[in-house]
Structure 1
């Protein structure tokens, strides 16, 4: 006769849980079944971790917020490396996303940096996660952060926008309609930092790609001179993305194809 852990008294299950690390019972045990959920809800260590993840994140104390953000980063790293889908249930939900977006405006550098890092990784996850971000209004705030004086914030904001735009054509159009192109083109014109240029070129590519529907020509025709300018860049990643962007634009209309030819792209290609 086999003995299932689910049939054990809660007190004995607590003792078993005592030998597991926090990440395991947050990411692997939650939502296995209703009984295990009930046991976890009354388990002290789980309550402590949950309080850190929720209560501390919504605190007004900067140290508590930083502690919660550190925990989130740790759990996201574990979930990403193990491809554990429980993370979508445990630490990615509309309330958490809204709070992370709210603290993007923090004047505390580390709070802003960590919150943006978490949102960047959420946007690079499932479409379900990306939808949370879009519905919470993250796009406009990210566009504003492109103008940040901090290069790491600029780059991560652009990277997050690129992830969103690359998810589907509707989100691509949301990013374009939100006014992302002017600050993005400004970065491409003035930045000398290679990682930032690579990220911005990739974002530009995602704003030009897609066929269901194709991008509105009037929204992207202003990028043609910049694409031609970037063909002189020596970085292979930048050049690769720019060439792909040109290939997408060439398929949009004869007018934009003519504009691409007229700026002198062909000799550079």
Structure 2
């Protein structure tokens, strides 16, 4: 169930929409042309969820909200409920349609997933904060800016690896007590998280950021091979799913 409403009077022009999925529903509300606030509620059963959703809808209608059938769900920013964290219900419809593995793409605990590491999770929420302040936010420029200007570490642009032996030697270099592997990995995690964040929030991705994310996933695979970590099935799925988007 997915329904949208608007409210007009002399003082305000507001929107409110709701979508239910199994035992949860999300509401998004605020002033027209704003991102608004997202809230997720979870119930004990599908029946209880639908009952509570209908109750909310009736209360909005009673307050003067009018249902609209042409609400633009596509050209919107989708942000997570900070009290609930990452969820499919607070993701753009295009993200949900293409990246269907919720355990992978809305994971807050697996280091290999886009938002499961501390870095990936931080990137998503920092981007949300920055977009609220500046709707002209540049996803493509963000990884380099974040790493160099805000975190004060070296940024490694993702490039095709021409010579594996030279690259393996470079990984042995240390800077400020950190291995080159760790510093490069930080760049890759930020780039990958930014790419998936753009799709999750906006439903699309810039071609240059997509290319950088694919190169970062390849570079992570190469580092894992050199360091003897073994192949990552998650990394492969991220690459394949992103490449097809």
State the TM-score bracket (shorter-chain normalisation). Answer: under 0.3
Who wins on radius of gyration, i.e. which is larger? 1
Q: Which has the higher contact order (CA 8 A, sep 6+)?
A: 2
TM-score normalised over the length of structure 2: 0.27
Query: Which has the larger helix fraction?
Result: 1
Query: Which has the larger strand fraction?
Result: 2
